[in-house]
Amino acid sequence: MQNYFQFKDLYKENKFVQAIQEANKALELMPKLASAYLYREQNLNQEALNDFTKAIELDPNLVQPYQNRANLLLDLNKDEEAIKDFQKVIQIDPNYINAYYNKFIALNKLGKYKDAVKDLNKVIELDSTYVNAYYQRGILHSNFGNNEECLKDYDRVIQLNPNHENCYFKRAMTLNMLGKTEDAVKDYKKVLSLNPNNANAYNNLANIFHTLGRDEEAINCYQKIIEIKPEEQDAYSNQAILLKNLGKNDEAINCYNKLIDLNPNDANPYFRRGFLLMQKNKIQSLQDFTKAIELNPSNKDAHYNKALLLNELGQEENALLSYQQVIKLDPKYQNAYFNQAIILRKLGKKEEALNSYNILLQMHPNTVEAYYNRAILLDEVGQKEKAIQDYNKAIELDPSYQRILLDELGRMDDALKNFNKVIELNPKDAKLYKCRADLMEKMGQNQKAFNDYQQAIDLDPQFINAYFNRALLYQKQKKYQEALNDLNKIIELDPKNASTFNRRGCIYHELEKDKEAMIDFNTSLLLDPNNPSTYNNRANLFSDQGLDQEALNDYNQSILLDPLSSFKYCNRGLLLKKQERNQEALNDFNKAIELDNKNEEAYNSRGNLYKELNKLDEAFKDYNKATELNPKYVNSLYNRGILYQNLGEKEKALKDYMLVLERNQAHSDTYNSRGNLYMNDGKMEQAIKDYNKAIEINPLNPLYLTNLGSLYYHQKDYIKAKNFFSLAQGCLEQIIDSKFKCRNLSSKNIIFIQSKLRLISEIDNQFQITKNNVAQFAKNNQINQQQEQAFLLEINKIQEQAASGMKPTNEQIDKNQQQQILDFLFKIEQEVKAIYDKLEKESKESKEKILQLESKVQKLEEQDSYQLEEELNLLKKPENFQSFLYYKSLFWRLYNYLHAMQLMSTNLFTINRDAMVESNSEKVADFLKTMSSTGSFIMGSVPIIGTTFNAINAALDYMVEKAKENKFQIRMQALTKIQQKFFVSPSEQEREIQFAAIALAKKQKPHNNDDCEQGALNPYIVKLSILESNYETNSESEYLKR
């Protein structure tokens, strides 16, 4: 409209007529546009269109009426008319950006994508920062499959607007489509950082996580969706599926419970919950399938699963009705005919059973199991020839069924004669040699079997089945490299042979090459995703790796694909037993026996379970049954021997162990268990021999090494014991670091052995530390000799107790026995620690006592120093001049005398910290009397110069009053004893001599200097001087020449 307001400019230019015309046009046009906007706000769309049209009539070159009418037409889905108006706007104003963008919207709605892209290109050309143009063009590029161009546009959008939630979402979708999953994950996480309630982002993120095998993270995403939308049924359903895949069936069941609460009329949650409950709660599962059928009677799988449950619950007639309903819904439902026939045979309705097999084989003529089962049934009704035909057909389809055929008919010798005749007639038929080789293998004539396999391969170098069966025979004989060579040849001939990858995976598993085994099992399943054998074998590998949930998932899938396989139920039962889900394990063992009552492994496994449940009679029955079915089956013999040993029936146990070793001389567990029996019976040499044999067969088994170490410990040969314990610890560390696997030891076994070795090591270290401390404390006088002997006696007593209680174990030790052993070792460890603590306590108390005595001596020395100073000051007074002279003379002579005694000692004095002398003469005797018992090291005698000593004593005797004579004699005797027993420092000795000299000086009676030479003690002083002079003259010691 701004053109119409140019009348002001015209007016200024004196163009009055034109100015008036423009003003009139504006006045006429403005009401129309204003009313049109008002009508549109009130949703009076037709009135708005009329006014926009009127405005256009008033001025056909005005942009706003066309643009606004086009937008209104676009809202009214009149896209073709809108496009015309947008085009008119562009015609009037070629740079009108919104006209191009809105025209793109209309073209996009009409599916005219190429024209739409052109308009977006124009928008971007006019405005390179127009975010929505890039975003919408990116979407169009994505729709065209131009993903690289699409990503460029999305990148530009995010560059212009880093918080564009929708663009991150779209870019994540494109990245995921291109296989750039990690980048896609980053974008979805960015979306969620911008909008934590974007349920679609969580859903797409969950899908990616599931694709990447990160199901736990996917489950968390679905949980977030549920938190955002508590009634989002798809989230519960998807979460339940993933929880089931992870084996978290209880949590999956909770999801289905919630789905049923949200929509009780949806059959699917009942069906899926029923499937999860089939093993856990058969009654509840049956009710769920019944409800699912009620809500959706055409659900054939619900009828089928209901039939399976009814059969397991013993309701065969009702199960038949359900199978018939399945067949009615799907006349080609193979398993329904198969299972129906099994029940009919069980009920004695053999003709009906035959008819069911006939119908099945007409529809599915390559069903091996049906031919085999029908052959058994035909044999039972007396149709032997037809039975043989069915057996032959089964063998033709699957050569492994030949063994079953021969077992059923029991005519191996006749079969061999027939093969020989046929080969004579047709010596160039490789298949005949292969079949005869299979028969030879069954008859135990392995070398002849190898010869025939080789002949078959010579005749047909590409005969895959001959290579395969020969590989099986090599594997049976543990000639693994030869087996691998044959399997590698098959893969060279047929790179897509799933069975060969499966078999090679089994051999790698036996060789403990887990990585290679896993690759082969996965490859096999990629080639044949419905092979139950591969799932079973991969489950075995998962189980050995301790990945129990993954193993259980594969066992379940294997059984689902092959519900009539006895050994698959047996394998799953073993895993459930390992997880202590005993009732479920028992159900599986029972099912395995029901499917094949000649499965010795199932009887043996059930026997082991009964043993753990303390149902010993049932255990013996199962072991006996397994042995009866296959006298060469060593596992049942071994387990029965273990049970006999546990019950104290040693002779029966030894007999079973002997039978095992007769059949398998490399059965290391038997040597170990027999070694345990011998050790507990005191037959150590025989035990050592068996342990060494077990270690020779399996040198990396930590259990065997620990048992031999325990035996040597029991014999108090601690060095050998420690060596074997160290070897066992090394093996354990390798197992934990996955350098090799110890297949017959469970994770609980390994944890037990690890705990046992740790306690033994700690006990041994504690013994050594405590013994060393006893010796050190005794050496440092912190304990006396009596205490030392008492401690050593107590340590040896505990060590003997540990040795006598060191018991061996086998791989089947239960957790209660394990705990008893660990508790015993822990008790020993605590007792040794108690001695150590007691030793530390007594040592500490001794140190504290010494510190107290040292403190006391220090105080006394301080007192002596003060007293000595006072006494000397008194002697130095003029009136005591003579006494002071006597003091000085006697002091140095006493000092030299005592010092000479030290130097002339035949033995060095040893420092004794407990012997601190009180210097006061009144306290010397009492202190020595108290402390003489605390000195641990009494020194040898010290040579004393008798004449000098006697001279001093004579002086003392002469001058000391009779009443006080004893006091000074005791003082000198105490000084001499100090020299004999204890080391005295020069300063201490000097103080003692000073006190003695002062005391003697005080006894010198005062007299005039003139009479000094006539003093009473002068003769003794002269005598001392002469003796001293003699020592100085005769001694070579410079210390005596003073």
pLDDT tens-place string over residues 184-198: 999 999 999 999 999
Q: Where in the chain is the domain with CATH 1.25.40.10?
A: 335-410, 631-698
Looking up tokens 């494109």 gives 174
202 touches 193 (CB < 8 A): no
699 pLDDT band (50/70/90 cuts)?
confident
Q: 422 pLDDT exceeds 80?
A: no
Question: What confidence score (pLDDT) does residue 368 get?
Answer: 85
Question: What confidence score (pLDDT) does residue 436 get?
Answer: 87
Alpha carbon distance 122, 94 (integer Å):
10
Question: What confidence score (pLDDT) does residue 854 get?
Answer: 63
Question: What confidence score (pLDDT) does residue 730 get?
Answer: 83
Question: What confidence score (pLDDT) does residue 1039 get?
Answer: 36
Candidates 82, 57, 72, 55; CA nearest to 1 is 55
Candidates 274, 272, 296, 292; CA nearest to 283 is 274
Residues sharing a CB contact under 8 Å with residue 366, sequence separation 6 or more, in sequence order: 397
1027 pLDDT band (50/70/90 cuts)?
low
CB neighbourhood size of 146 (10 A): 16
Residues sharing a CB contact under 8 Å with residue 702, sequence separation 6 or more, in sequence order: 728, 729, 731, 732, 735, 742, 745, 750, 753, 757
714 touches 806 (CB < 8 A): yes
pLDDT tens, position by position, 734-764: 776 554 455 567 667 677 777 777 877 777 7
Please report, for residues 317, 340, 595, the alpha-carbon distance to residue 349 in angstroms, rounded to integers and kept in the order given. 12, 11, 19
Which CATH code, of 3.30.365.10, 1.25.40.10, 3.90.180.10, 1.10.3720.10, is assigned to 631-698? 1.25.40.10
Cβ-defined contacts of 584-587 (< 8 Å, 24+): 584/279, 584/280, 585/609, 587/279
For domain 335-410, which architecture applies? Answer: Alpha Horseshoe (1.25)
pLDDT tens, position by position, 436-468: 888 888 888 999 999 999 999 999 999 999 999
284 pLDDT band (50/70/90 cuts)?
very high
Please report, for residues 536, 585, 605, the alpha-carbon distance to residue 590 in angstroms, rounded to integers and kept in the order given. 19, 9, 10
Question: What confidence score (pLDDT) does residue 857 get?
Answer: 60
Alpha carbon distance 767, 763 (integer Å):
6
Question: What confidence score (pLDDT) does residue 1025 get?
Answer: 53
Q: Which helix (H) or strand (E) holds 987?
A: helix 986-1002
218 pLDDT band (50/70/90 cuts)?
very high
Looking up tokens 């018939």 gives 324
Cβ-defined contacts of 410-418 (< 8 Å, 24+): 412/439, 412/442, 412/443, 415/439, 416/440, 416/443
Question: What confidence score (pLDDT) does residue 37 get?
Answer: 47
Candidates 208, 223, 213, 201; CA nearest to 245 is 213
What is the rounded average pLDDT of the residues 208-232? Answer: 90
Average pLDDT, the chain: 78
SS3 29: helix
Rounded to two decimals, the pTM is 0.47
Q: First and final CA of the chain: distance in angstroms?
A: 137
Angle at 568 between CA 446 and CA 584, to 5 degrees: 145
SS3 745: coil
Question: What confidence score (pLDDT) does residue 948 get?
Answer: 42
DSSP state of 41: H
809 pLDDT band (50/70/90 cuts)?
confident
Alpha carbon distance 746, 313 (integer Å):
34
Question: What confidence score (pLDDT) does residue 916 get?
Answer: 32
CB neighbourhood size of 672 (10 A): 26
Question: What confidence score (pLDDT) does residue 861 get?
Answer: 65
SS3 983: coil
Least confident of 95-104, 490-499, 958-967: 958-967
DSSP 504-534: HHHHHHHTT-HHHHHHHHHHHHHH-TT-HHH
pLDDT tens, position by position, 168-177: 999 999 998 8
Question: Alpha helices of 904-964 — where are they, by DSSP H?
Answer: 921-931, 946-959
Alpha carbon distance 1041, 1030 (integer Å):
10
Percent of the residues in the chain that have a pLDDT greater than 70, as a whole number: 74
Least confident of 241-255, 361-375, 789-803, 926-940: 926-940
Please report, for residues 108, 410, 899, 1023, 1026, the alpha-carbon distance to residue 1019 in angstroms, rounded to integers and kept in the order given. 144, 134, 24, 6, 11
Cβ-defined contacts of 346-354 (< 8 Å, 24+): 346/316, 347/316, 347/317, 350/377, 350/380, 350/381, 353/377, 354/378, 354/381
Between residues 10 and 213, the one the model is more confident about:
213
